[in-house]
Chains A and B, each alone.
Chain A
Amino acid sequence: MPDQPALIARNLERSYGEGSSTARVLRDVSIELYPGRVVLLMGPSGSGKSTLLAVLSGLLRPDRGEVTILGRSLWTIRESARERFRLEHFGFIFQGFNLFPSLTAAEQLEMVVRWGEGASPREARRRVGAMLDQLGLGARGHIRADQLSGGEKQRVAVGRALLKNPRFCFADEPTGSLDWGHGEQVIRLLHAAARDQGAVLFVVGHDPRLIPYADRVVHMVDGRLSDEPASLEPTL
């Protein structure tokens, strides 16, 4: 394991609602994430998994606590700087595929590098072609999203997240909409990307079949984290 964590979160607190209806979703959560490692966060619905992912990835401000990424405090920098940070270092995969239905697989990916990095059309095509080959979609790049299968759509979504070689990839139930055959394909891709690119892969999931692909499994119950070895049966 590398010596230096890429992400350090300390004493995170987050509540929803006010007064007597306040729900404390994160309670004094601290965690460190290391490059090239896959961390799987498991827990029952409503336990705060997605909230923790949102706070770590710069999408939701915590009430208290600190997130330090690559030596920078994520929640003390300006919104525009945080947005820039996400652009440079973060990839996201969500449960729904969230692809523009009338754009092709290749166009979904090209849009990210052209709009995000200002890449030229030629450069975008080159990178997207390589990524689609890597995803096993080399021959499907010209197909519109609404004509792709569920597994293909999620692979395109994975490609969209990994195309810019992010240092961090956050995945919320990435296999939730897929049968295990396609789900396994997706988690293998993510696992390989974490290893090959030295990226932090933070996965929120329910499925115990994901456990063999994780370097570390973390459980969340009632807003608190408990660390258990990956080889142990998870608490669902």
Chain B
Amino acid sequence: MPYSLKILCREPRRYLPAVLAVAFSDLLITVQVGLLLGALSVLSLPIDHAAADLWVASPDIQSIELGYPIPESWRSLLASQPEVIATEPYLYGYSYWRNPRGGSEVCCVIGSRLESGALGVVSDLSPTLRDRLTEPGSVVVDETELERLGVDGVGGIAEVAGRRVRVVGLVSGLKSLGPPYIFCSMRTAYQIQPLFRDYPGHTMYLLGRCRNPSDAPAVAARLRRRSDLSAFTSGEFSARTQFFWATRTEAGIGMGFTAMLSLLVGMAVTSQTLYAATAASLREYAVLRALGIPRRKMAGLVMAQALWVGLAGITLAMPLIQALASSGESAGARVVLPVWLYALGSGLTLSMALLSGLAALRSLRLVEPITLLR
């Protein structure tokens, strides 16, 4: 076992603040970004839960809710691509929901084809619900949105853009971060989205499916050569939507700052702990210097201690992250923790610990054997 680890294990109290600081930083960064990813993943739910490989939209679109109607006739352009085997229109837009009690709410109407193999319908809609939706004026909402929409459940009646609608079914896990999603057929969507009354023959998106999904990036790139449209694979469009909200909204920026702050606090505590630990052994280091041991050996010891502190902190943080994420989920917060996020949090905090070690090296400048002679 290296000396650095022996000292760390035998003097745990001295190094505990640094280990806790690293663990705290890792925990905060990972859970914060996990929460952000959870919130962002809600924004791209309609894309991620659909079966389309390709999304064609108005030019320069940044996010799914920022689309503008495009001619449905472009469907032939999409269908003419050799790799594409199916196409369909997709409506997405805002409208006004007026409940029986008189209250109103902005809602997000999503209209898609409903038959088996349709590209736009969210996979969470069962065949029974799809059947029910074929009746004009039928809608499906997430069960958690009922209160917001002012209806009691299945069978509830409301008015959207002046048209009567009836809730024919409920889904779960499709709660929106903004206005509630209203899932319906294309026909119903055209009726309850005022925008499309002014744009006959238009759709918000055109969806496509490739024979081989791996061809989608090439098709999207080919279509993008046209300046009057945007084209993406579903993965690209989902990431673009999430990126837009992460970077253009205060939520994303705020979380980024908080994560940076936690890194700085962690670094301050870690570097001070390592500095104090090194400073406490200055006389021992001075003897080694007198004996001709190179300073780099001592620097190596401090850096190794920083590494062990970092690894101990990350190890401690792992179960805490899991526990915090579970309690967040049970409280209704969506926390997305992909493996790469664990790696990112660990990498950042380990780098922070090593930087702290570098900062603590300045205490070694104080090591002078002459100070041992009284």
A contact set with B: CB distance below 8 Å: 50-51, 53-54, 57, 59-60, 83-88, 90-92, 94-96, 98-103, 107, 111-112, 115-116, 144, 157, 160-161, 164, 172-173
Q: Which residue on chain B has the smallest CB distance to residue A145?
A: B284
Distance A99 CA – B280 CA, assembled complex (angstroms) = 11
B contact set with A: CB distance below 8 Å: 3, 6-7, 10-11, 281, 283-284, 286-288, 290-294, 297, 369-370, 372-374
User: Do A87 and B6 touch (CB < 8 A)?
Assistant: no
User: Do A99 and B284 touch (CB < 8 A)?
Assistant: yes
Residue of B3, B286, B373 ringed by the most chain A CB atoms within 10 A: B373
- Which of A91, A96, A164 contacts B372, CB < 8 Å? A96
Distance A218 CA – B283 CA, assembled complex (angstroms) = 28
Contacts of B293 in A (CB 8 A): 87, 112, 115-116
Distance A157 CA – B291 CA, assembled complex (angstroms) = 12
Distance A232 CA – B284 CA, assembled complex (angstroms) = 37
Distance A54 CA – B374 CA, assembled complex (angstroms) = 11
* Least CB distance, B351 to chain A, in whole angstroms: 27
Q: Which residue on chain B has the smallest CB distance to residue A49?
A: B373
Q: Can you name 25 A-B pairs with beta carbons within 8 Å?
A: A50-B374, A53-B373, A59-B369, A83-B292, A84-B292, A85-B292, A86-B290, A86-B292, A87-B292, A92-B372, A95-B372, A98-B286, A100-B281, A100-B284, A102-B7, A115-B288, A116-B292, A116-B293, A157-B287, A160-B291, A161-B291, A164-B291, A172-B373, A172-B374, A173-B374
- Which of B291, B369, B370 contacts A116, CB < 8 Å? B291
- Which of B6, B291, B370 contacts A102, CB < 8 Å? B6
- Which of A57, A90, A95, A116 contacts B374, CB < 8 Å? A95
Contacts of B292 in A (CB 8 A): 83-88, 90, 116
Distance A101 CA – B369 CA, assembled complex (angstroms) = 19
* Least CB distance, B299 to chain A, in whole angstroms: 12
**A-B contact number at CB 8 A:** 83
User: Do B288 and A111 touch (CB < 8 A)?
Assistant: yes
Q: Which residue on chain A has the smallest CB distance to residue B300?
A: A115
Interface of B is mostly: helix
Contacts of B374 in A (CB 8 A): 50, 95, 172-173
Q: Which residue on chain A has the smallest CB distance to residue B8?
A: A102
- Which of B3, B6, B290 contacts A59, CB < 8 Å? B290
Q: Which residue on chain B has the smallest CB distance to residue A172?
A: B373
- Which of A51, A83, A86, A144 contacts B10, CB < 8 Å? A144
User: Do A92 and B290 touch (CB < 8 A)?
Assistant: yes
**9 closest Cβ pairs, A-B complex:** A87-B292, A86-B292, A102-B10, A50-B373, A94-B372, A115-B297, A92-B290, A98-B287, A98-B283
* Least CB distance, B8 to chain A, in whole angstroms: 9
Distance A120 CA – B373 CA, assembled complex (angstroms) = 32
Distance A157 CA – B372 CA, assembled complex (angstroms) = 13
Distance A57 CA – B297 CA, assembled complex (angstroms) = 21
Distance A85 CA – B290 CA, assembled complex (angstroms) = 11
Distance A107 CA – B10 CA, assembled complex (angstroms) = 13
Distance A102 CA – B291 CA, assembled complex (angstroms) = 20
User: Do A100 and B370 touch (CB < 8 A)?
Assistant: no
* Least CB distance, A102 to chain B, in whole angstroms: 4
* Least CB distance, A96 to chain B, in whole angstroms: 6
Distance A103 CA – B5 CA, assembled complex (angstroms) = 11
User: Do A103 and B288 touch (CB < 8 A)?
Assistant: no
Contacts of A101 in B (CB 8 A): 11
Residue of B281, B286, B297, B374 ringed by the most chain A CB atoms within 10 A: B374
Contacts of A173 in B (CB 8 A): 374
Distance A160 CA – B288 CA, assembled complex (angstroms) = 9
